Structure 1
Amino acid sequence: MFKLISTLLRGRAHDAEQAFADRHAVPLLAQQIRDAAQSIQTARRSVAVAIAQNEQEKAQHQTILSRIADLETRATAALTKGNEGLAREAAEAIAFLEAERDASEQAQSQFTTSIAKLKGIVRDAEARLQALQRGERLARATQEAQKLDVAVAGPGLATLDDAEETLARLRLRQSQNELTAAALKEMESATRPAGIIEKLANAGCGAPLTSSADDVLARLKSRITPAA
Protein backbone atom coordinates (compact mmCIF):
# COMPACT_ATOMS: atom_id res chain seq x y z
CA MET A 1 0.00 0.00 0.00
CA PHE A 2 2.75 2.41 0.95
CA LYS A 3 4.51 1.66 -2.34
CA LEU A 4 1.36 2.49 -4.31
CA ILE A 5 0.87 5.77 -2.44
CA SER A 6 4.53 6.71 -2.98
CA THR A 7 4.21 5.95 -6.70
CA LEU A 8 0.99 7.99 -6.93
CA LEU A 9 2.58 10.96 -5.15
CA ARG A 10 5.60 10.86 -7.43
CA GLY A 11 3.28 10.68 -10.44
CA ARG A 12 1.31 13.70 -9.27
CA ALA A 13 4.50 15.60 -8.54
CA HIS A 14 5.74 14.83 -12.04
CA ASP A 15 2.44 15.96 -13.57
CA ALA A 16 2.51 19.18 -11.55
CA GLU A 17 6.10 19.85 -12.55
CA GLN A 18 5.28 19.19 -16.20
CA ALA A 19 2.21 21.44 -16.05
CA PHE A 20 4.27 24.22 -14.46
CA ALA A 21 6.94 23.87 -17.15
CA ASP A 22 4.28 23.98 -19.88
CA ARG A 23 2.72 27.15 -18.46
CA HIS A 24 6.09 28.87 -18.31
CA ALA A 25 7.64 27.26 -21.38
CA VAL A 26 8.49 30.51 -23.21
CA PRO A 27 10.34 32.27 -20.33
CA LEU A 28 11.97 28.94 -19.46
CA LEU A 29 13.17 28.60 -23.06
CA ALA A 30 14.46 32.18 -23.03
CA GLN A 31 16.52 31.54 -19.89
CA GLN A 32 17.88 28.27 -21.26
CA ILE A 33 18.92 30.11 -24.42
CA ARG A 34 20.67 32.79 -22.34
CA ASP A 35 22.50 30.08 -20.39
CA ALA A 36 23.53 28.37 -23.63
CA ALA A 37 24.72 31.68 -25.09
CA GLN A 38 26.84 32.26 -21.99
CA SER A 39 28.37 28.79 -22.31
CA ILE A 40 29.16 29.42 -25.96
CA GLN A 41 30.79 32.73 -25.04
CA THR A 42 32.95 30.87 -22.49
CA ALA A 43 33.87 28.32 -25.15
CA ARG A 44 34.86 31.15 -27.52
CA ARG A 45 37.18 32.56 -24.86
CA SER A 46 38.70 29.11 -24.38
CA VAL A 47 39.42 28.90 -28.10
CA ALA A 48 40.97 32.38 -28.05
CA VAL A 49 43.17 31.42 -25.08
CA ALA A 50 44.27 28.22 -26.82
CA ILE A 51 45.15 30.14 -29.97
CA ALA A 52 47.15 32.69 -27.97
CA GLN A 53 49.03 29.94 -26.13
CA ASN A 54 49.79 28.21 -29.41
CA GLU A 55 51.16 31.46 -30.84
CA GLN A 56 53.39 31.80 -27.78
CA GLU A 57 54.56 28.22 -28.26
CA LYS A 58 55.39 28.95 -31.89
CA ALA A 59 57.41 32.01 -30.89
CA GLN A 60 59.27 30.00 -28.24
CA HIS A 61 59.94 27.26 -30.80
CA GLN A 62 61.49 29.77 -33.17
CA THR A 63 63.69 31.07 -30.33
CA ILE A 64 64.87 27.51 -29.57
CA LEU A 65 65.70 26.89 -33.23
CA SER A 66 67.70 30.11 -33.37
CA ARG A 67 69.67 29.18 -30.25
CA ILE A 68 70.36 25.69 -31.56
CA ALA A 69 71.67 27.09 -34.84
CA ASP A 70 73.81 29.64 -32.99
CA LEU A 71 75.27 27.01 -30.63
CA GLU A 72 75.99 24.63 -33.51
CA THR A 73 77.93 27.40 -35.27
CA ARG A 74 79.86 28.24 -32.10
CA ALA A 75 80.52 24.57 -31.24
CA THR A 76 81.89 23.99 -34.74
CA ALA A 77 84.17 27.00 -34.28
CA ALA A 78 85.37 25.61 -30.92
CA LEU A 79 86.14 22.25 -32.52
CA THR A 80 88.01 24.03 -35.30
CA LYS A 81 90.14 25.73 -32.66
CA GLY A 82 90.70 22.43 -30.88
CA ASN A 83 88.69 23.40 -27.79
CA GLU A 84 86.78 20.14 -27.45
CA GLY A 85 85.76 20.81 -23.84
CA LEU A 86 83.95 23.99 -24.76
CA ALA A 87 82.48 22.26 -27.79
CA ARG A 88 81.13 19.51 -25.50
CA GLU A 89 79.41 22.10 -23.28
CA ALA A 90 77.82 23.53 -26.38
CA ALA A 91 76.77 20.04 -27.48
CA GLU A 92 75.12 19.41 -24.10
CA ALA A 93 73.22 22.69 -24.41
CA ILE A 94 72.20 21.77 -27.94
CA ALA A 95 70.91 18.38 -26.78
CA PHE A 96 68.84 20.08 -24.05
CA LEU A 97 67.43 22.60 -26.54
CA GLU A 98 66.60 19.85 -29.03
CA ALA A 99 64.54 18.12 -26.33
CA GLU A 100 62.78 21.45 -25.71
CA ARG A 101 62.26 21.80 -29.45
CA ASP A 102 60.65 18.35 -29.71
CA ALA A 103 58.41 19.06 -26.73
CA SER A 104 57.38 22.38 -28.26
CA GLU A 105 56.53 20.77 -31.58
CA GLN A 106 54.44 18.15 -29.78
CA ALA A 107 52.65 20.89 -27.84
CA GLN A 108 51.95 22.79 -31.06
CA SER A 109 50.49 19.66 -32.62
CA GLN A 110 48.22 19.14 -29.62
CA PHE A 111 47.19 22.80 -29.65
CA THR A 112 46.36 22.63 -33.36
CA THR A 113 44.21 19.52 -32.91
CA SER A 114 42.43 20.93 -29.84
CA ILE A 115 41.81 24.32 -31.47
CA ALA A 116 40.32 22.73 -34.59
CA LYS A 117 38.06 20.54 -32.43
CA LEU A 118 36.98 23.46 -30.24
CA LYS A 119 36.24 25.65 -33.26
CA GLY A 120 34.02 22.91 -34.71
CA ILE A 121 32.15 22.54 -31.42
CA VAL A 122 31.63 26.30 -31.15
CA ARG A 123 30.41 26.57 -34.76
CA ASP A 124 27.88 23.77 -34.24
CA ALA A 125 26.75 25.30 -30.95
CA GLU A 126 26.35 28.73 -32.53
CA ALA A 127 24.22 27.27 -35.34
CA ARG A 128 22.02 25.48 -32.82
CA LEU A 129 21.77 28.65 -30.73
CA GLN A 130 20.64 30.69 -33.73
CA ALA A 131 18.00 28.06 -34.52
CA LEU A 132 16.81 28.19 -30.91
CA GLN A 133 16.65 31.98 -30.98
CA ARG A 134 14.54 31.89 -34.14
CA GLY A 135 12.34 29.27 -32.51
CA GLU A 136 11.94 31.42 -29.41
CA ARG A 137 10.85 34.42 -31.48
CA LEU A 138 8.33 32.25 -33.32
CA ALA A 139 7.08 30.76 -30.04
CA ARG A 140 6.58 34.23 -28.55
CA ALA A 141 4.72 35.41 -31.66
CA THR A 142 2.54 32.29 -31.59
CA GLN A 143 1.81 32.77 -27.89
CA GLU A 144 0.76 36.39 -28.44
CA ALA A 145 -1.41 35.36 -31.40
CA GLN A 146 -3.07 32.69 -29.29
CA LYS A 147 -3.75 35.24 -26.55
CA LEU A 148 -5.36 37.47 -29.17
CA ASP A 149 -7.48 34.59 -30.41
CA VAL A 150 -8.67 33.91 -26.87
CA ALA A 151 -9.44 37.59 -26.32
CA VAL A 152 -11.36 37.88 -29.58
CA ALA A 153 -13.18 34.62 -28.99
CA GLY A 154 -14.32 35.90 -25.60
CA PRO A 155 -15.77 39.31 -24.74
CA GLY A 156 -13.57 40.90 -27.40
CA LEU A 157 -15.61 39.27 -30.16
CA ALA A 158 -18.82 40.87 -28.90
CA THR A 159 -17.01 44.20 -28.73
CA LEU A 160 -15.94 43.86 -32.36
CA ASP A 161 -19.50 43.02 -33.38
CA ASP A 162 -20.84 46.08 -31.55
CA ALA A 163 -18.19 48.31 -33.13
CA GLU A 164 -19.05 47.04 -36.62
CA GLU A 165 -22.75 47.71 -36.04
CA THR A 166 -21.98 51.21 -34.76
CA LEU A 167 -19.87 51.94 -37.84
CA ALA A 168 -22.64 50.70 -40.15
CA ARG A 169 -25.22 52.94 -38.43
CA LEU A 170 -22.83 55.90 -38.62
CA ARG A 171 -22.25 55.42 -42.34
CA LEU A 172 -25.98 55.08 -42.96
CA ARG A 173 -26.74 58.26 -41.00
CA GLN A 174 -24.02 60.19 -42.84
CA SER A 175 -25.37 59.01 -46.20
CA GLN A 176 -28.86 60.08 -45.21
CA ASN A 177 -27.59 63.49 -44.13
CA GLU A 178 -25.83 63.99 -47.46
CA LEU A 179 -28.94 63.04 -49.43
CA THR A 180 -31.07 65.34 -47.28
CA ALA A 181 -28.68 68.27 -47.79
CA ALA A 182 -28.66 67.72 -51.56
CA ALA A 183 -32.45 67.60 -51.70
CA LEU A 184 -32.77 70.78 -49.64
CA LYS A 185 -30.32 72.57 -51.88
CA GLU A 186 -32.22 71.54 -55.00
CA MET A 187 -35.55 72.61 -53.51
CA GLU A 188 -34.13 75.98 -52.49
CA SER A 189 -32.71 76.58 -55.95
CA ALA A 190 -36.03 75.68 -57.51
CA THR A 191 -38.02 78.22 -55.47
CA ARG A 192 -35.62 81.20 -55.66
CA PRO A 193 -36.06 83.51 -58.70
CA ALA A 194 -32.32 83.67 -59.16
CA GLY A 195 -32.18 79.93 -59.24
CA ILE A 196 -34.96 79.73 -61.85
CA ILE A 197 -33.25 82.37 -64.01
CA GLU A 198 -29.95 80.45 -63.82
CA LYS A 199 -31.70 77.24 -64.76
CA LEU A 200 -33.40 78.93 -67.80
CA ALA A 201 -30.12 80.53 -68.92
CA ASN A 202 -28.30 77.23 -68.71
CA ALA A 203 -31.06 75.69 -70.87
CA GLY A 204 -30.46 78.36 -73.59
CA CYS A 205 -33.61 80.34 -72.87
CA GLY A 206 -32.66 84.01 -73.08
CA ALA A 207 -29.30 85.74 -72.76
CA PRO A 208 -26.62 83.83 -70.90
CA LEU A 209 -25.75 85.04 -67.42
CA THR A 210 -21.99 84.84 -68.02
CA SER A 211 -20.00 85.98 -71.01
CA SER A 212 -18.08 83.56 -73.14
CA ALA A 213 -14.66 84.21 -74.66
CA ASP A 214 -16.30 84.86 -78.05
CA ASP A 215 -18.58 87.49 -76.51
CA VAL A 216 -15.64 89.31 -74.91
CA LEU A 217 -13.64 89.21 -78.17
CA ALA A 218 -16.55 90.61 -80.20
CA ARG A 219 -17.01 93.44 -77.69
CA LEU A 220 -13.35 94.36 -77.90
CA LYS A 221 -13.41 94.39 -81.72
CA SER A 222 -16.43 96.69 -81.72
CA ARG A 223 -14.41 99.28 -79.80
CA ILE A 224 -11.79 99.54 -82.52
CA THR A 225 -12.49 102.51 -84.84
CA PRO A 226 -11.51 101.77 -88.46
CA ALA A 227 -8.80 104.11 -89.76
CA ALA A 228 -10.08 106.85 -92.15
Structure 2
Amino acid sequence: MFNSILTLIRGRAYDAEQAFIDRNAVPLLAQQIRDAAAAIQSARRAVAIAVAQNEQEKSRYSAIIDRIADLETRAVAALQKGSDELAREGAEAIAQLEAERDASEKAQAQFTQTIGKLKATVRASEARLQELQRGERLARATAQTQKLSVACDDNSGLATLDDAEETLARLQAYQNRCEVAASVMKEMDAASRQATIVEKLANAGFGAPLGPSADDVLARLRDRMNSAA
Protein backbone atom coordinates (compact mmCIF):
# COMPACT_ATOMS: atom_id res chain seq x y z
CA MET A 1 0.00 0.00 0.00
CA PHE A 2 2.77 2.40 0.96
CA ASN A 3 4.63 1.66 -2.28
CA SER A 4 1.45 2.34 -4.24
CA ILE A 5 1.06 5.70 -2.52
CA LEU A 6 4.67 6.62 -3.33
CA THR A 7 4.16 5.56 -6.93
CA LEU A 8 0.99 7.65 -7.13
CA ILE A 9 2.79 10.67 -5.66
CA ARG A 10 5.62 10.32 -8.19
CA GLY A 11 3.10 9.96 -10.97
CA ARG A 12 1.23 13.09 -9.95
CA ALA A 13 4.49 14.97 -9.54
CA TYR A 14 5.51 13.92 -13.04
CA ASP A 15 2.14 14.96 -14.46
CA ALA A 16 2.40 18.32 -12.68
CA GLU A 17 5.92 18.82 -14.01
CA GLN A 18 4.84 18.02 -17.56
CA ALA A 19 1.80 20.29 -17.25
CA PHE A 20 4.04 23.10 -16.00
CA ILE A 21 6.40 22.59 -18.93
CA ASP A 22 3.47 22.57 -21.36
CA ARG A 23 2.08 25.80 -19.92
CA ASN A 24 5.47 27.48 -20.15
CA ALA A 25 6.67 25.82 -23.35
CA VAL A 26 6.99 29.06 -25.33
CA PRO A 27 9.22 30.96 -22.84
CA LEU A 28 11.14 27.73 -22.18
CA LEU A 29 11.76 27.33 -25.91
CA ALA A 30 12.83 30.98 -26.18
CA GLN A 31 15.41 30.54 -23.39
CA GLN A 32 16.70 27.30 -24.89
CA ILE A 33 17.13 29.07 -28.23
CA ARG A 34 19.03 31.89 -26.52
CA ASP A 35 21.28 29.32 -24.83
CA ALA A 36 21.86 27.56 -28.16
CA ALA A 37 22.65 30.87 -29.87
CA ALA A 38 25.21 31.64 -27.15
CA ALA A 39 26.78 28.19 -27.61
CA ILE A 40 26.98 28.72 -31.37
CA GLN A 41 28.61 32.09 -30.80
CA SER A 42 31.19 30.38 -28.58
CA ALA A 43 31.77 27.82 -31.33
CA ARG A 44 32.32 30.62 -33.82
CA ARG A 45 34.93 32.12 -31.51
CA ALA A 46 36.58 28.72 -31.20
CA VAL A 47 36.77 28.47 -35.00
CA ALA A 48 38.27 31.97 -35.20
CA ILE A 49 40.85 31.09 -32.54
CA ALA A 50 41.73 27.84 -34.31
CA VAL A 51 42.16 29.65 -37.62
CA ALA A 52 44.37 32.29 -35.97
CA GLN A 53 46.50 29.63 -34.31
CA ASN A 54 46.83 27.77 -37.59
CA GLU A 55 47.97 30.97 -39.29
CA GLN A 56 50.57 31.43 -36.56
CA GLU A 57 51.71 27.84 -37.05
CA LYS A 58 52.04 28.44 -40.79
CA SER A 59 54.19 31.50 -40.13
CA ARG A 60 56.32 29.49 -37.71
CA TYR A 61 56.65 26.70 -40.27
CA SER A 62 57.81 29.15 -42.95
CA ALA A 63 60.39 30.56 -40.56
CA ILE A 64 61.65 27.04 -39.76
CA ILE A 65 62.00 26.22 -43.47
CA ASP A 66 63.96 29.41 -44.04
CA ARG A 67 66.28 28.68 -41.08
CA ILE A 68 66.86 25.12 -42.31
CA ALA A 69 67.76 26.36 -45.78
CA ASP A 70 70.12 28.96 -44.32
CA LEU A 71 71.87 26.44 -42.02
CA GLU A 72 72.21 23.93 -44.83
CA THR A 73 73.94 26.54 -46.95
CA ARG A 74 76.27 27.46 -44.09
CA ALA A 75 77.00 23.83 -43.18
CA VAL A 76 77.90 23.01 -46.79
CA ALA A 77 80.23 26.01 -46.84
CA ALA A 78 81.88 24.78 -43.62
CA LEU A 79 82.37 21.30 -45.10
CA GLN A 80 83.85 22.80 -48.22
CA LYS A 81 86.40 24.67 -46.12
CA GLY A 82 87.19 21.66 -43.96
CA SER A 83 85.46 22.92 -40.80
CA ASP A 84 83.90 19.58 -40.00
CA GLU A 85 83.22 20.49 -36.36
CA LEU A 86 81.20 23.59 -37.33
CA ALA A 87 79.49 21.63 -40.07
CA ARG A 88 78.47 18.99 -37.50
CA GLU A 89 77.03 21.64 -35.18
CA GLY A 90 75.11 23.02 -38.13
CA ALA A 91 73.83 19.54 -38.93
CA GLU A 92 72.62 19.05 -35.35
CA ALA A 93 70.75 22.36 -35.51
CA ILE A 94 69.26 21.34 -38.83
CA ALA A 95 68.10 18.03 -37.35
CA GLN A 96 66.35 19.85 -34.48
CA LEU A 97 64.72 22.27 -36.89
CA GLU A 98 63.57 19.40 -39.10
CA ALA A 99 61.94 17.79 -36.04
CA GLU A 100 60.18 21.09 -35.34
CA ARG A 101 59.20 21.28 -39.01
CA ASP A 102 57.64 17.81 -38.87
CA ALA A 103 55.79 18.68 -35.66
CA SER A 104 54.54 21.88 -37.25
CA GLU A 105 53.25 19.97 -40.28
CA LYS A 106 51.33 17.60 -38.00
CA ALA A 107 49.96 20.53 -36.01
CA GLN A 108 48.79 22.23 -39.20
CA ALA A 109 47.13 19.03 -40.36
CA GLN A 110 45.33 18.72 -37.01
CA PHE A 111 44.32 22.39 -37.11
CA THR A 112 42.97 21.99 -40.64
CA GLN A 113 40.97 18.91 -39.67
CA THR A 114 39.66 20.50 -36.49
CA ILE A 115 38.76 23.74 -38.24
CA GLY A 116 36.89 21.82 -40.93
CA LYS A 117 34.89 19.89 -38.33
CA LEU A 118 34.18 23.03 -36.30
CA LYS A 119 33.01 24.94 -39.35
CA ALA A 120 30.74 22.07 -40.40
CA THR A 121 29.33 21.87 -36.87
CA VAL A 122 28.74 25.62 -36.74
CA ARG A 123 27.03 25.63 -40.14
CA ALA A 124 24.76 22.75 -39.16
CA SER A 125 24.03 24.35 -35.78
CA GLU A 126 23.22 27.69 -37.39
CA ALA A 127 20.78 25.99 -39.77
CA ARG A 128 19.11 24.21 -36.85
CA LEU A 129 19.02 27.46 -34.87
CA GLN A 130 17.34 29.30 -37.74
CA GLU A 131 14.77 26.53 -38.00
CA LEU A 132 14.17 26.73 -34.26
CA GLN A 133 13.78 30.50 -34.44
CA ARG A 134 11.20 30.14 -37.21
CA GLY A 135 9.44 27.51 -35.13
CA GLU A 136 9.47 29.80 -32.11
CA ARG A 137 7.88 32.64 -34.08
CA LEU A 138 5.21 30.24 -35.36
CA ALA A 139 4.65 28.88 -31.84
CA ARG A 140 4.21 32.38 -30.44
CA ALA A 141 1.74 33.26 -33.21
CA THR A 142 -0.14 30.02 -32.61
CA ALA A 143 -0.25 30.67 -28.86
CA GLN A 144 -1.67 34.15 -29.42
CA THR A 145 -4.26 32.75 -31.84
CA GLN A 146 -5.24 30.07 -29.33
CA LYS A 147 -5.66 32.69 -26.61
CA LEU A 148 -7.89 34.70 -28.93
CA SER A 149 -9.90 31.60 -29.80
CA VAL A 150 -10.37 30.77 -26.13
CA ALA A 151 -11.47 34.34 -25.42
CA CYS A 152 -13.99 34.19 -28.28
CA ASP A 153 -15.27 30.77 -27.21
CA ASP A 154 -15.80 31.99 -23.66
CA ASN A 155 -19.45 32.98 -23.11
CA SER A 156 -18.46 35.93 -20.99
CA GLY A 157 -16.22 37.13 -23.77
CA LEU A 158 -19.02 36.83 -26.32
CA ALA A 159 -21.37 38.63 -23.95
CA THR A 160 -18.87 41.43 -23.66
CA LEU A 161 -18.70 41.69 -27.43
CA ASP A 162 -22.50 41.75 -27.62
CA ASP A 163 -22.69 44.47 -24.99
CA ALA A 164 -20.05 46.52 -26.75
CA GLU A 165 -21.87 46.22 -30.08
CA GLU A 166 -25.17 47.21 -28.47
CA THR A 167 -23.54 50.20 -26.78
CA LEU A 168 -22.00 51.27 -30.06
CA ALA A 169 -25.34 50.99 -31.85
CA ARG A 170 -27.08 53.06 -29.17
CA LEU A 171 -24.33 55.66 -29.29
CA GLN A 172 -24.56 55.92 -33.06
CA ALA A 173 -28.36 56.21 -32.90
CA TYR A 174 -28.10 58.93 -30.25
CA GLN A 175 -25.55 60.81 -32.34
CA ASN A 176 -27.80 60.55 -35.38
CA ARG A 177 -30.76 61.90 -33.39
CA CYS A 178 -28.62 64.78 -32.18
CA GLU A 179 -27.57 65.59 -35.73
CA VAL A 180 -31.16 65.48 -37.00
CA ALA A 181 -32.41 67.63 -34.11
CA ALA A 182 -29.66 70.15 -34.69
CA SER A 183 -30.51 70.31 -38.38
CA VAL A 184 -34.22 70.79 -37.66
CA MET A 185 -33.47 73.49 -35.13
CA LYS A 186 -31.35 75.32 -37.67
CA GLU A 187 -34.16 75.09 -40.24
CA MET A 188 -36.73 76.27 -37.70
CA ASP A 189 -34.57 79.18 -36.64
CA ALA A 190 -34.09 80.20 -40.27
CA ALA A 191 -37.82 79.94 -41.03
CA SER A 192 -38.70 81.88 -37.88
CA ARG A 193 -36.33 84.66 -38.79
CA GLN A 194 -37.79 84.80 -42.31
CA ALA A 195 -41.40 84.88 -41.01
CA THR A 196 -40.55 87.67 -38.59
CA ILE A 197 -39.07 89.78 -41.36
CA VAL A 198 -42.13 89.18 -43.62
CA GLU A 199 -44.48 90.14 -40.76
CA LYS A 200 -42.57 93.31 -40.07
CA LEU A 201 -42.71 94.28 -43.76
CA ALA A 202 -46.44 93.51 -43.99
CA ASN A 203 -47.24 95.49 -40.83
CA ALA A 204 -45.33 98.42 -42.28
CA GLY A 205 -47.60 98.33 -45.31
CA PHE A 206 -45.16 96.79 -47.69
CA GLY A 207 -46.91 94.09 -49.67
CA ALA A 208 -50.17 92.22 -48.99
CA PRO A 209 -51.26 91.93 -45.38
CA LEU A 210 -50.73 88.56 -43.75
CA GLY A 211 -54.23 88.49 -42.21
CA PRO A 212 -57.32 90.56 -41.48
CA SER A 213 -56.80 93.82 -39.55
CA ALA A 214 -59.01 95.43 -36.90
CA ASP A 215 -60.10 98.05 -39.43
CA ASP A 216 -61.26 95.31 -41.80
CA VAL A 217 -63.26 93.68 -39.00
CA LEU A 218 -64.92 97.00 -38.01
CA ALA A 219 -65.83 97.68 -41.62
CA ARG A 220 -67.39 94.25 -41.95
CA LEU A 221 -69.39 94.76 -38.75
CA ARG A 222 -70.69 98.15 -39.94
CA ASP A 223 -71.80 96.63 -43.23
CA ARG A 224 -73.65 93.88 -41.34
CA MET A 225 -75.33 96.50 -39.09
CA ASN A 226 -76.41 98.65 -42.02
CA SER A 227 -77.81 95.66 -43.84
CA ALA A 228 -79.87 94.70 -40.82
CA ALA A 229 -81.33 98.25 -40.58
TM-score range normalised by the length of the shorter chain: 0.7 to 0.9
Which residue number corresponds to residue 121 of structure 2?
A: 121
**Counterpart residue number, 1:208:** none
CA distance in 1, matches of 2:102, 2:86: 24
TM-score norm. by structure 2 comes to 0.74
Q: Offset at 1:41?
A: 2.2
CA deviations over 1:178-205 (Å, ceiling 9, x no partner): 22333333344344446887xxxxxxxx
* Paired amino acid for 1:69: A
Distance between the aligned counterparts of 2:5 and 2:125, measured in 1?
43
What is the CA–CA distance in structure 2 between the aligned matches of 1:66 and 1:7, rounded to whole Å?
74
* 2:187 partner amino acid: E
Q: Structure 1: where are the runs of 5+ without partners?
A: 198-228
Question: Which amino acid letter does the alignment assign opposite residue 183 of structure 2?
Answer: A
Tell me the alpha carbon deviations over residues 124-168 of structure 1, each in whole angstroms, 9 at most, x when there is no partner: 112211222232233223323333333344333322221211111
Alignment match, 1:173: 174
Counterpart of 1:183? 184
Is this contact kept in 2: 1:71–1:94, CA < 8 A?
A: yes
- Structure 2 counterpart of 1:46: 46
Find the structure with the greater CA-based Rg. 2
Which structure 2 residues correspond to residues 25-44 of structure 1 after superposition, within 5 A?
A: 25-44=25-44
Determine the C-alpha separation between the residues in 2 that align with 1:62 and 1:106: 14
Query: Hey, what does 1:60 align to over in structure 2?
Result: 60
Give the equivalent residue in structure 1 for 2:92: 92
Q: CA RMSD in A?
A: 2.6
Render the CA deviation track for 1:169-228: whole Å, top value 9, x for unaligned: 12112222222333333344344446887xxxxxxxxxxxxxxxxxxxxxxxxxxxxxxx
**C-alpha distance after superposition, 1:40-95 (max 9, x if no partner):** 22222221221122122111111111110110110111111111222122122212
Find the residue that maps to 2:82 and give its secondary structure: coil
Work out whether residues 64 and 100 of structure 1, in 8 Å CA contact, stay in contact via their aligned partners in 2.
yes
